[in-house]
Amino acid sequence: MRLCAFAVLLALLAVAGATPAQSPPAARPKTENLILVTLDGMRWQDVFTGADNRMMNKEQGGVADVRLLRQRFWRGEPDARRELLMPFLWQVIGKDGQLFGDPERNARAVVTNGKKFSYPGYSEMLCGKADERIASNDKFPNPNVNVLEFLAGKPAFHGRVAAFSGWDVHPFILNRERSGLFIEAAFEPVTVARSKERLADLQALLEQLPRYWEGFAFDVATFQRAREYFVCKQPRVIYLALGETDEWGHGRRYDCYLEMAHAADAMVRELWQLAQASDQYRGKTSLLITCDHGRGRSEKDWTDHGEKIEGAEEVWMAVLGPDTPPLGVRRDVAATQAMVAATVALLLGEDFRSAVPDAAPPLPGACAGH
Ligand SMILES: [Zn+2]
């Protein structure tokens, strides 16, 4: 018996020598900077399969010019359609990064807050857990610590984390008062630009566009001020929250929803290209894109989301950067919205759960060695 056990042990050791049973401790990530982007209420269906034929009409989609919309975003094959809609996402992240949330590849990504609307969704994603107390979009300070605040509290990130949002509730979601984060939201004045003239231009853009929605500014205005800040201040972490996709969705304007998904993709590409042209960012920057909730699955309720809307719990995430293995569309992996917070920290070499022990773990495999 003893000899036999010894032989087994030897054999095990031989195997262990050839292929370590446990992966070695992961090296510190290469990522030093991170760009986080959210597209409010952007459905995974449109991300993974492109424009949805059922809404490319007047009745279900409120489309103003059906022929033009089909010309712009319709192709017979889903792969061609999605690339047409979000070329950066598919040509760059689909090839060099990872995408979570395709149910057809057994890789559903879901919100765990059960509410399926914005404040609970952003809070879950940024604070790493669902919180029952967050049950409305009212402007109340979030009691939970978010990952941007966690990072900004570290000397290496202090004063180098910034957030830009089209929505005037984001300063409350990120608890600006407590966190002290640099946040510019909705119609708040533009405060940073490379010159006085540039500042005036950005302010004019904000003021001269129509105030089409209450408490929410057009994405172009939010993007332009974020882009300016990115170039001028070179933050280590920048969060850009875009939201026209949700607004046009509620307005049953599938044409404008698609146009803004397409525009958001181009905005992200621009940030990424700016990063690749800079010594601070090139090869040392990760990008994470996600959404706060899904929307209804059918041509009737695609406009809506919330507790009662089936399918609105389904979300998606896209990750790209020097620490993210190029696995493309992920298969056989379950993801939750709450995993975003720890993923952001992990890519930057930090452990969010050291501060928030009940936060969800990072997205599996999004960072090499984890
Ligand atoms: Zn909404």
- We report the CATH number of the domain holding residue 270 as 3.40.720.10
Give percent of the chain with pLDDT exceeding 90: 92
Ligand 1 centroid from CA 166, angstroms: 13
Q: What pLDDT, on a 0 to 100 scale, did the predictor assign at position 24?
A: 53
Contacts of 258 (CB under 8 A, 6+ apart): 46, 51, 69, 72, 73, 85
How much distance in Å is there from the Cα of 67 to the middle of ligand 1?
A: 27
Residue 328 sits at φ, ψ, to 5 deg, of: 65, -140
Q: What is the CA(247)–ligand 1 centre distance, in A?
A: 6
Residue with tokens 């765990």: 112
Contacts of 341 (CB under 8 A, 6+ apart): 125, 126, 127, 128, 146, 147, 352, 356, 359, 360
316 occurs within a structural domain: yes
CA atoms within 13 A on the CB side of 94: 15
Residues 177-224: tens digit of each pLDDT: 999 999 999 999 999 999 999 999 999 999 999 999 999 999 999 999
Whether 67 is covered by a domain: the verdict is: yes
Q: How many angstroms does the Cα of residue 358 sit away from the middle of ligand 1?
A: 28
In a domain, 296, yes or no: yes
Separation in Å, CA 44 to CA 114, 153, 157: 17, 33, 32
pLDDT in tens, the chain (370 residues): 454 555 554 454 444 444 444 555 567 899 999 999 999 999 999 999 999 999 999 999 999 999 999 999 999 999 999 999 999 999 999 999 999 999 999 999 999 999 999 999 999 999 999 999 999 999 999 999 999 999 999 999 999 999 999 999 999 999 999 999 999 999 999 999 999 999 999 999 999 999 999 999 999 999 999 999 999 999 999 999 999 999 999 999 999 999 999 999 999 999 999 999 999 999 999 999 999 999 999 999 999 999 999 999 999 999 999 999 999 999 999 999 999 999 999 999 999 999 999 999 999 999 998 9
CA 319 to centroid of ligand 1, rounded, Å: 24
362 within a domain of the structure (yes/no)? no
CA of 41 to the centre of ligand 1 (A): 6
Domain that holds residue 91: 29-184+223-354
Helix (H) or strand (E) holding 228: helix 219-233
Domain-located, residue 171:
yes
- 293 CA distance to ligand 1 centroid (A)? 8
* In-domain check, residue 24: no
Question: Residues 313-368: pLDDT tens digits?
Answer: 999 999 999 999 999 999 999 999 999 999 999 999 999 999 999 999 999 999 99
**Distance from residue 250's CA to the centre of ligand 1 (Å):** 6
Centre of ligand 1 from the C-alpha of residue 303, in Å: 8
Q: Rounded to the nearest whole angstrom, what is the distance from the C-alpha of residue 274 to the centroid of ligand 1?
A: 30
When divided into structural domains, the chain yields a total of: 1
Residue 117 Cα to ligand 1 midpoint, Å, equals 6
256 C-alpha to ligand 1 centroid (Å)? 15
Beta-carbon neighbour count of residue 91 at 10 Å?
Answer: 13
pTM above 0.95, yes or no: no
Interval between CA 248 and ligand 1 midpoint (Å) = 9
Q: How far is the CA of 311 from the centre of ligand 1 (A)?
A: 14
CA of 133 to the centre of ligand 1 (A): 19
For ligand 1, the distance from its centroid to the CA atom of residue 304, given in whole angstroms, is: 7
Tokens of 97: 């990064």
| 21 located within any domain | no
- Report if residue 360 sits inside a domain: no
* E strand residue ranges, 126-166: 161-165
Q: How far is the CA of 244 from the centre of ligand 1 (A)?
A: 10
- The pairing of strands 98-100 and 328-329 is parallel
Distance from Cα 222 to the centre of ligand 1, integer Å: 18
Quote the ligand 1 centre to 137 CA distance (angstroms). 10
